[in-house]
Amino acid sequence: MDFLNSTHLDTERLSAMCHDAIADWPHDGVRAAVRYSRGAAFSGTCFYKEGRIFVNLGRTNAYPYLIRTNLARAQSERNRWWRELYTIDAADPYQLVLFVFMHEFYHWLVRQARRNVRQKEARCDRFAARAMVDMHGSIVRDSTGKPVPRHAWDFQDLDGFVARARRTWGRAG
């Protein structure tokens, strides 16, 4: 994976953190770039065909930064569905970059696995939250601020869903 950084953050630290998080996944040809956003606190974009991931970071964010996520199970009634808002703290800008990068990287894995790329935001958030919890001990909280047990938000087989991406790793074409 090629990694570019145009922010004040340490490029080696960012690159190592992102590389470590995806070490077991295919990432040949991925080009990631971390840059400042034009106003948003953060955002990310994945261009599937080019294998490009952009992470945009707000210059004036205060840390710890509360990331609002789509981790909770969907709930429904007769005519509507909703999802409780779960949050996860990014202790510093490096963790926020990691979350956004992992979210966008999962989008890329979904495409590599030849899955439908539409409506995968919750899966991508779960993949990113896993990295935050496993690598940094981050805590997922519900809308009242109480910690949420892992089984309540990490309930999908995310690895299995994109397993086909591993089988095609290293093949031409």
Q: Is residue 26 part of a domain?
A: yes
Q: Is residue 150 part of a domain?
A: yes
Rounded-to-integer distance, Cα 169 and Cα 10, Å = 29
3-state secondary structure of 16: helix
Provide the pLDDT for residue 118: 86
| Containing structural domain, residue 113 | 2-167
Helix (H) or strand (E) holding 53: strand 52-57
The pTM for the full model equals 0.93
The separation between the first and the last C-alpha atoms of the chain, rounded to the nearest angstrom, is 17
Q: Is residue 105 part of a domain?
A: yes
Query: How many distinct structural domains can be found in the chain?
Result: 1
Per-residue pLDDT of the chain (173 residues; tens, 9 = 90+): 999 999 999 999 999 999 999 999 999 889 999 999 999 999 999 998 899 999 999 999 999 999 999 999 988 888 998 889 999 999 999 999 999 999 999 999 999 998 988 889 999 999 999 999 999 999 999 999 999 999 999 999 999 999 998 865 554 44
CA angle 99, 27, 6 (to 5 degrees): 55
Q: Is residue 95 part of a domain?
A: yes
